[in-house]
A and B are shown apart, each in its own frame.
Chain A
Amino acid sequence: MQLVNRFLEKVNNMSHQSKNNTREIKVDYLARVEGEGALRLLIEQDQVKQAQLRIFEPPRFFESFMPGRDYKEAPDITARICGICPVAYQMSAVHAMEQICSNVEQAPETKSLIRDLRRLLYCGEWIESHILHIYMLHAPDFLGYDDAIALAKDHKNIVQRGLRLKKIGNEMIRCFGGREIHPINVKVGGFYKLPTEEACSALLEQLNWGRQAALETIEWVSAFYFEDFEQDYEFVSLYHGNVYPLNEGVIKTRSGLSIKPNAFEQHFFEKHEAHTNALHATFGEDQNYFVGPMARYFHNYAQLPRACKQAASDAGLNQACYNPFKSIIVRAIEVLFAFEEAQRILEDCMQSSFSWCDREIALDLTVQAGIGYAATEAPRGLLWHRYEIDEQGVILSAKIVPPTSQNQRIIESDIGKVAQQNVMKNDQDLTHILEQAIRNYDPCISCATHFLNLEVVRL
C-alpha cells in the first residue's frame, strides 16, 4: 500500500499519509469547476471519517464595499461576483431594489414586457451556463476524457453541437444584455435600450435548431453510466404556480415550508467554518439542504412545458430525481425548457401591438429609504439578496447568499457517502469519482466566496 501511495503521490499530486491504517486523499486544485477549491478526505480502517470541501478562493468582500455605493450601481457591481452567471446577480439586485422604490402607476403592458424580457435574458444565461457545464465540465467525466478538447478529437460533432448551443445562449444575453459577460443593459427598473426588430428576428431564427439540439443533448446524456446513489435531499427552490421559476415565486422546501424571500433569514442561517472561505448555509439550526436544477425540478415539474415532460420521461426520469449524478439530465431538460420559453416569449413579444424595439423601456421609479429582498434562480440554484438603502439611494448594507455556499454542506455530505460506497477503489479511481460528485453540483467557487482541490487522507 505504501508503495502504491508513494507512486500516486508522484503521479497525481495528491499527498498521502499511511499510518495506523489511515489514508488521506487530497486534491489540491479541483479542475473543471469555476473557481478555486480543494477536497480533503480522511479514511480510517476503510471508514470515511471526514470529508471537507475547502474553498480557498480568496474573499472579495462584496458585502463590505457595497455600503456607500449608489443603489443604481448594484446590478453592475454584483455582476462582477461571477463571470459565469452575472445575469443572476443582476436579476436578484434589480428585483430587491425595485421592492424598495415606489412605483408610479405604470401601463400593465410595460410591466409585463419587462417581466417577459427579463425571463428571456435569464434563459440565455441558463443555456450558456448549463451547456458549459454539460459539455465542457461534466460530460468528460462520464466518458473518460480529461476535457472537451480531447472529447472533440473522437466526437467532434457532439462538441460542436455543444459549442453552437452555448453560442446561442450567449447571443440571447448579448441581444438583450449588450454583452455576454457582465451585461450592461440591465437597470433598476428595466432595460437601457431594447434590441432592434432585425436583431430579435435573427435570434428567433436560431431557436428552432436550439430546441432540436437540446433534445439531442438530453438523449445523449441520458445514455451515460450513472453511479447508483440516491439521497433523501431537502430540496429548496423557488416555486411559482404558473411558470417554471426564474425571477419570481416563494421559497419552498421539500419539508413543507413556503416563505417569501423577505423571511429567508428567519429560516436559513450562514455559518463560518475554519476550513473554508465560503460561508456554509443551513436550514434551521443544522439541516443541510439542496439548491439547483434537481430542487427546481422537484418543486416545479408540473409547470414544465409538455415537450420537457415527454423528454424527461423518455430519458427515464420520474417527476423527481434523487441521484445527483443524474443532475446532468435535469440540466439538459432545463436547457430544453429555456429554449421553449425563450421562443414563446420572443414570438409573443414580437407579435405584440406595443412598440418596444430599439428604445429604452423602464419603470418610472422614485427612490426612498427601505429594505428590499429578492430571490431568483441562478443556473446553480437559489440566489438571495438583501439591501438597505437611504432616502438618497445610498446603499447602507448588503447581504448576498449565493447557491454554492448553500450547497457546500450537502456536497460534503455526498463526498463522504460516495467515498464510503467506493472505499475499496484505489486512490486514483476514488479521487476521480469524488471529483465527479462535486461537479454534480456545478459549484461556482467564485460566487461562494464572496471556492476546489481534492485531499483524501486514509488512515
Chain B
Amino acid sequence: MPEQGARVQMPRMAALVLRGLEYFTWPLNLDDYLELISPLWSTKELRGRIERIHAETDDAVTVYITPGFRWRGHRPGQYLRIGFDIQGKRQWRAYSLSSDSPRPDGQITVTVKRTEDGVVSRWLHGPQATGSIVTLGDVEGEFVLPDPVPAKLLFLTAGSGITPVMAMVRGLERRRHLDDIVHIHSARTREGAIFAGELGRIDASHPGYSLIFRATAEQGRLVPADLDAVCPDWREREAYACGPGGMLDALGEHYTAAGLGDRLHVESFEHFVLGGIEVRGGTITFAASGIAADCDGTTPILVAGEAAGAKLPFGCRMGICHTCTGTLTAGSVRDLRTGDLTHAGTEIRTCVNCPDGPVTVAL
C-alpha cells in the first residue's frame, strides 16, 4: 500500500456518529462525500492547501499551506511529511517547518530550495503548485528546544539548514526569549541566503540575539576549530545545528572531543551522504516477479529494481515511511546512510539499502 497521510484524531462522540453514518455510505464513508465540498474536511487523512508561494531567493521558495481539519500544531524545529500530487502521482517529501506555530492566519510554511533534478522542488517553483491540495503526514522530529529554554543558546546553520532554526528564532522572538543567543549562519553569498532580511531585522532589533553571517564564497567554510574565535563561550551554550552531513559530522566529533557531546543537537536532511561507506553492490532477485537487477554500490535496491522493470512499492524514498519494505530472504544489505549491515530474514527498506553481494528480496 502506498504511503498515507496522518490520521485525523476525532473526538469520541464524533467518531461514533461517523461510524453510524457509514450504514448509509458503505462501502464509502462520510469523508468521501465531504470531500466533494472541501478536500480539507477529510477525517481520514490530513490534507492541506497550498495558498501561496513566496520566492525567498532565486532558488528557494516558502510554501504557505493551510492545514486541514483538526491540525494539531507543531513545535519549532520539527519536520512534516508532505505528499504532493505531481503529474498524477503522489510524491512524498519531508521538510522542516519554517513557520513558528501558530501563524495568525492558521497557515504553516515550509521553505524549499530548488535542486537540479528534484521533482518536487522544481514543481514548487513552477506555476501549478499554488492552489493545489497536498496530503500531510505526521509532524515528526526531536530537533526542538526544551522547555524552559536554555539560558545561553548557539545556533549553527548552513544553507537551507536554516529552516528549522528559523522556526525556532521566530518562536523565541514571539515569546520574547531572545535573551542570549549567538547564531552563526553560513551561506554561499549574502544575497543568496534564505531569510537574510528577516534575520538581519531580528539581529538589529534584539540586543540578545547576535547573528554572525559567513559568506562561504569569500570566507570559506566554517570549521569547528573556528568556534573559539567566532564564539569564545561556545562550551557554555546549548548548541542546535542543521546543515549538510559533513558539517554535522565535524561538529559532532569536535563536541565529543571536548566532552560536550550532549550539548549538541543536530538535524540533517541529507540522508544520502555516504560518508565513505564501502558497499559492494550485487545482483538483486525480486522473488515475486523473478526480475533480476544489477546494482552498483551506490544505488538503492528500489532504484535498481525500478530500472530493471520491477514494480515495487515506494513512499518517501528517504528511509522514513516504511512503505517500501520487503523481507530480505537471502544475502546481506547495507544501509547507504549509516553503513549498517542487515542480514537475510529481516524486513528492509529498499529505498535506503544497497546489496552487499547477491541478494533476494520477497517483493
Mutual binders A and B: no
Residue ranges of A at the interface with B (Cβ–Cβ < 8 Å): none
